[in-house]
Amino acid sequence: MDVTALSVFENRCLINGQWIGTGETASGQRIDVTNPATGELLSSVPVLSEAQIHESVLTAQAAQVLWKKYSPQQRADILKKWFNLMHEHKDELATLLTLEQGKPLKESRGEITYAASYLEWYAEEGKRAYGDIIPSADSSEVLVFKEPVGVCAAITPWNFPAGMITRKVAPALAAGCTMILKPASETPLTALALAKLATEAGVPAGVLNVVTGSSTLIGKILTESPVVKKLSFTGSTPIGAKLMEQSAPTIKKLSLELGGNAPVLVFNDCNLEQAVQQVLDCKFRNAGQTCVCANRIYIQSGIYDEFLEKLAQKVSQLKVGNGLDESTTVGPLINAKATLKVQEQIDDALAKGAELVTGTAVQQPGNWCVPTVLKNVSQDMLCAKEETFGPLAPVFVFETEDEAVQYANDTEFGLASYVFTQDLNRFIRVSRALEYGMVGVNTGILSNEAAPFGGVKASGLGREGAKYGLEDYLEIKYVCVGNIT
């Protein structure tokens, strides 16, 4: 498909309101963007030079002086326009997203709506960056102002090429910060399309800059720069830790949304039909390539066989294919390495005593992965310890609530977790006992713009969404008015 025919198409970088990098770039190189379903070359984006990346930082610094003076209402008007433009171009954006990322069109449309919702939410929330007046112990007045953090940087992943961008850019801009965005090299076209709509909506030059090129070089410049006051990163824990280390000398604020290893606890007293459907949606959305997707599925012994039978039946009906085909429910994985990781986990589990329920023990080489369910899985297997990021559902059995919670917490990660029960006391008890930033109760889908998304332990720092997402882009200034007579 010819992506250049899409009106939202853009394959140049945005710095200071200028689109740069047509043909040869200052570095003389470009990065190919391919369709994971077909291997077809869609386009390419610039590899910016060191000087160009530094320029994006200086540009964001100059723009911030003006942007912070815009009233919250003026910023809201621009974000709302951007929101409307995303809706007007929803089908084109979804097509572009499916082409470069692979997920089914229905999911891409859902992601565009989801991504746009952050623009609307923070357009409103930016008006409510309340400070405080605090009664003091003496004759002074304690005033608390909320101020924008300043120049911010965002490094975003390929699994949600639109959602992960607006979740960071919308609160930053609403707070009066400016941004340098580095999208994933696999999916830069959605990011550039969003930036194109942002400029159309009236985001001033330099307020949002999008840079592409060497991840190592861009990460180094953005983390080492004293001008950049905050970095928001979504990706793996090892890369997050490295960025954190690089950011230490300049004492940056950090938001890190890192790896997960989400447990699902399904108790005998659940609504079984609901639990099976929710686990299916949670596990196989985006072909299992989400940080919050069910990674370990623990079923209480009384419903183990029935749950497995119902889940296997639904999984065998999933249709793997090109996301552009409306009947596809599971698209390709992002690359062949991702399939190899799934294969490695299947091999390890089968060698240690797990059994195949549905799917295939041997995946084909390439980007296609057959949705697979394993039973009799145990804590010593790779699939219990590592994030899979693919359509493999390992199903474990447990007897007691204490045992289930212990299994669930037996990981360095702490992003999302899920509980299925109809017992009110159990839902409170288990939700409190789970060492996770998020708990889904009787649901497998928990992210939306009104909710604080984020993890604990090795899953990261900070929250995105809700009022908390705005606070991550605000500094507190205490003003003491003394000697009041």
Rg (CA), the chain: 23
For residue 207, give the DSSP letter: T
Do residues 174 and 126 touch, judged by C-beta distance below 8 A? Answer: yes
- CB contact set of 23 (below 8 Å; sequence gap of 6+): none
Do residues 148 and 227 touch, judged by C-beta distance below 8 A? Answer: no
Site map for ligand SIN, 399-438, x if CB under 6 A? ----------------------------------------
Q: Which is nearer to ligand SIN, 10 or 111 (CB)?
A: 111
Looking at this protein, which amino acid is placed at residue 60?
A: A
User: For ligand SIN, which stretch binds (CB under 6 A), given 57-65, 286-294, 327-335, 343-351?
Assistant: 286-294
Minimum distance of ligand SIN from residue 249's CB (angstroms)? 28
Q: Could you say whether residue 175 binds ligand SIN (CB under 6 A)?
A: no
- Contact residue for ligand SIN among 83, 160, 418, 436 (CB under 6 A): 160
Q: Could you say whether residue 163 binds ligand SIN (CB under 6 A)?
A: yes
Helix (H) / strand (E) element for 389: namely none
Task: Provide the terminal-to-terminal Cα distance of the chain, rounded to the nearest Å.
Answer: 74
Q: Could you say whether residue 63 binds ligand SIN (CB under 6 A)?
A: no
Q: Could you say whether residue 367 binds ligand SIN (CB under 6 A)?
A: no
Q: Which residue, among 206, 200, 159, has the nearest Cα to 183 in the 3D structure? A: 159
Minimum distance of ligand SIN from residue 65's CB (angstroms)? 33
The answer to whether the Cα torsion of 292, 414, 334, 396 is positive or negative is: negative
User: For ligand SIN, which stretch binds (CB under 6 A), given 37-45, 92-100, 159-167, 355-363?
Assistant: 159-167
Strand partners, 479: 143
Task: Name the token pair of 1.
Answer: 């498909």
Q: Could you say whether residue 35 binds ligand SIN (CB under 6 A)?
A: no
User: For ligand SIN, which stretch binds (CB under 6 A), given 97-105, 126-134, 221-229, 284-292?
Assistant: 284-292
Minimum distance of ligand SIN from residue 289's CB (angstroms)? 8
Q: Is 55 a catalytic residue?
A: no
Q: Could you say whether residue 290 binds ligand SIN (CB under 6 A)?
A: yes
Q: Could you say whether residue 156 binds ligand SIN (CB under 6 A)?
A: no
- Calculate the alpha carbon distances from 480 to 133, 140, 148, 471, 476 in Å: 10, 7, 20, 22, 13
Distance CA 265, CA 294 (A): 10
Site for ligand SIN in 450-469 (CB under 6 A): none
- Give the HSE-up count for residue 86: Cα atoms under 13 Å, Cβ half-sphere: 31
Q: Which is nearer to ligand SIN, 3 or 254 (CB)?
A: 254
Minimum distance of ligand SIN from residue 160's CB (angstroms)? 5
Distance CA 131, CA 88 (A): 36
Number of residues that bind ligand SIN (CB under 6 A): 9
Site for ligand SIN in 96-155 (CB under 6 A): none
Distance CA 39, CA 335 (A): 10
Minimum distance of ligand SIN from residue 111's CB (angstroms)? 9
Minimum distance of ligand SIN from residue 69's CB (angstroms)? 33
Site for ligand SIN in 186-245 (CB under 6 A): 234
Q: Could you say whether residue 259 binds ligand SIN (CB under 6 A)?
A: no
Q: Which one is catalytic: 257, 387, 464, 471? A: 257
Task: Name the token pair of 388.
Answer: 């899979």
Minimum distance of ligand SIN from residue 107's CB (angstroms)? 11
SS3 142: strand
Q: Could you say whether residue 292 binds ligand SIN (CB under 6 A)?
A: yes
Distance CA 433, CA 52 (A): 49
Residues written for the chain = 485
Q: Which residues bind ligand SIN (CB under 6 A)?
A: 159-160, 163, 234, 257, 290-292, 447
Q: Which residues are identified as catalytic?
A: 257
